[in-house]
Structure 1
Amino acid sequence: MEIRQLEAFAAVMSAGSVTAAGRLLGRSQPAVTRSIQELEAEIGYPLFQRFGPRVAPTREASQLYQDVERTLASLRQVKARAEQIARQAPPPVTLAATSALAVGLVPRALALLDRSHPLESVHLRSAAPEQVVDAVLNGTVDIGVSSLPLEHRGVLVHWIGESACVAAVHADDPLAQAPRIALSDFANRRLVTMQNPYRLRPRLDSAFAQAGVRTAGVIETNSSLNALGAVRAGLGLAVLEPVTALGLPVEGVVIRPLDMRIAFLFGAITPEFRPPSAATLAAVQALAQAAAEVLPDFILHDASQHSAILQALYDAPDDILNPTEEHTT
């Protein structure tokens, strides 16, 4: 299995045709076809179904693609690092973060870091929480930033951040004039909410159920930016994590606190098997500092409290992380 074969496979997957893949790679169409055929012969199954000039990936190709793309990305990083070493440049800062944290928190943290540790190279990718943890576990990135839980063996949690979820309403909505929004205000309104069934979403559903609120339909999304876009388009009201809402304001959308605290919890992690460098530790600290700047009610918890926080969050219905009265610190 050769790199040129993997590059040809990835290019065809991306472009949708062998001809377009050849243009992307600067190779002839026959050369790309030959590389694909050689790869298929080596692995023992077809990767594409042919429909004239276009192709469709097989189920096996779709399963293989993510690993191939990750391998090629690693090779590109090795090449770039080799060039940096030749210039005696510092290693890049590599991060993986959930989309909310990648948009609303990480850029501000990198700006803070750049003041004390000038950045030459940064690799940042957004991913689902499970993929963020996986990237840290396999050493693909130096730092992961994700929502809780983060109890995976092999990751080192540096700190845990807490902030209250917020409501997002269209600027022309009468609710935009209220200082805070009650869950009862969502009654008979369309709700825009998060999809992930293992993190924030169950607690949002539980809060509405406890309040006895029935909404008039739901729009589900895996991105807070998508939720804000839906609110701006007048499609409904949203309850979402505060990092995107406050870290990346959207014109035409007003953010208001809720009348009850629904905690959003997130943290910074690094590989447990690899001691973090000084630059990595500085980036972890910059992330906490940026969170404190973005989130007016930000609470920084010690990483040792992880298990206790989760137990209180999921086992106790009236725990201190979800009181009915306004939270104060």
Structure 2
Amino acid sequence: MELRQLEAFAAVMSTGSITGAAKLLARSQPAITRLVQELEAEIGYALFARNGPRVTPTDQGFLLHEEAERALSGLRRIHERAVEIARGDAQPLLLAATSALSVGLLPLALKRVEQNTGPSPIQLRTASPEHVVHAVLSGAVQLGASSLPLEHKGLQMHWIGEVGCVAMLPQDDALAALSTVPLAALAQRRLITMSNPFRLRHRLDAVLAEAGRAPGRHHALIETNSSINAQALVRAGLGVAVLEPLTAIGASSDGLVIRPIDTHIPFFFGVITPQSRPLTTPVRALVEALLHTAATLPGFVQHDVAEHATLLQSAQAPLAK
């Protein structure tokens, strides 16, 4: 399997045609066709279904594309770093975080670091919690910020934070007039919530069940994998959301109001780095800046990393009001 074959395959996937891929890579159409066919012959299955000049990725093509993009991205990064080393440039900070932490925590923390050290190159990717963990474990990034659970072999967890979830409502919603929103009132509404059943969603389902939300009403849920998406859906008037407060802090809340809930629904999050890699001075400074920034959040509580399992168990305990 050659690099040129993977580049041709990825280019066809991105542009949707052999013609577009040829223009993108400055190669002839026959050359792109040949490279893709050689790759298909080597792996033993078709990557595209062909209909004249149009091509449609097969299911196997979609699956392989994710891996090919990851490999090509790594190779591009090696090339970029080689050029940076030749120029004597500082190594950029490579970071990964969930959407909530990307908008609500990292920008302020990075600003704090740069006020002390000056500007430096930064690469920040937003990903699901599982992909943040994978990026740190694989060494693709130097630091990750994500919701719990984060206890994996090969990770160094530096601290755990806890904040209470809030209700996000359209400003003209009747509940917006309340200083504190009853969970029981939210249980009767159409909810916009996270789709991952193993993190905040699990806790939310439990407290809503205790608040009397009938199982039959779950068909009205709107599920998303991004807190930014949830905020946009609330703004459109499609429902109300129960979210961590970080998204509301970091993203525009025009047309929305944020209210505390009469029931504490904890959101746990932490900062991780590769266990096998010693902390550089910039990464150490960012770990500390993230904690300092998180400490300014309303109701923030810092936990020792040794409490990881206990905190996850406590999230299943009876509700605290």
| Partner deviation per Cα, 1:49-79 (whole Å, 9 max, x = no partner) | 1122221112222221111111111111111
2: CA distance between counterparts of 1:219 and 1:311? 27
1: CA distance between counterparts of 2:276 and 2:234? 43
Match of 1:176 in 2: 176
2: CA distance between counterparts of 1:104 and 1:118? 21
CA contact (8 A) 2:192 2:221 kept: yes
Matched, 1:15 2:15: yes
| Aligned-partner residue type, residue 104 of structure 1 | G
Q: 5+ unaligned residues in a row in structure 2: which ranges?
A: none
Structure 1 residue 131, shift from structure 2 partner: 1.1
Match of 1:231 in 2: 234
| Aligned-partner residue type, residue 49 of structure 2 | Q
Match of 1:30 in 2: 30
Match of 1:306 in 2: 308
What is the aligned residue count?
318
| Aligned-partner residue type, residue 52 of structure 1 | G
Could you state the TM-score of these two structures normalised by the residue count of structure 2?
Answer: 0.94
Structure 1 residue 148, shift from structure 2 partner: 0.3
Percent of aligned positions that are identical: 54
Could you state the TM-score of these two structures normalised by the residue count of structure 1?
Answer: 0.92
Match of 2:78 in 1: 78
2: CA distance between counterparts of 1:288 and 1:245? 19
| Partner deviation per Cα, 1:107-142 (whole Å, 9 max, x = no partner) | 222222222233432111111111111111111111
Secondary structure at 1:250's aligned position in 2? coil
Structure 1 residue 106, shift from structure 2 partner: 1.7
Name which of 238, 243, 256 aligns with 1:240.
243
Secondary structure at 1:279's aligned position in 2? helix
Match of 1:327 in 2: none
Comparing 301-310 with 121-130, greater Cα deviation is found at 301-310
Match of 2:57 in 1: 57
Structure 1 residue 187, shift from structure 2 partner: 4.3
1: CA distance between counterparts of 2:28 and 2:106? 41
CA contact (8 A) 1:246 1:255 kept: no
Match of 2:87 in 1: 87
Match of 1:124 in 2: 124
| Partner deviation per Cα, 1:143-201 (whole Å, 9 max, x = no partner) | 11110011111111011111011100101112212111111222432111111010010
CA contact (8 A) 1:100 1:244 kept: yes
Match of 1:323 in 2: 320
RMSD: 1.6
| Aligned-partner residue type, residue 65 of structure 1 | H
**Aligned in 2, Cα 1:92/1:313: closer, same or farther, shift over 3 Å?**
same
Matched, 1:164 2:164: yes
Match of 2:197 in 1: 197
Matched, 1:284 2:317: no
Match of 2:223 in 1: 220
CA contact (8 A) 1:183 1:213 kept: no
2: CA distance between counterparts of 1:117 and 1:54? 52
Structure 1 residue 208, shift from structure 2 partner: 0.9
| Aligned-partner residue type, residue 124 of structure 2 | L
Comparing 50-59 with 210-219, greater Cα deviation is found at 210-219
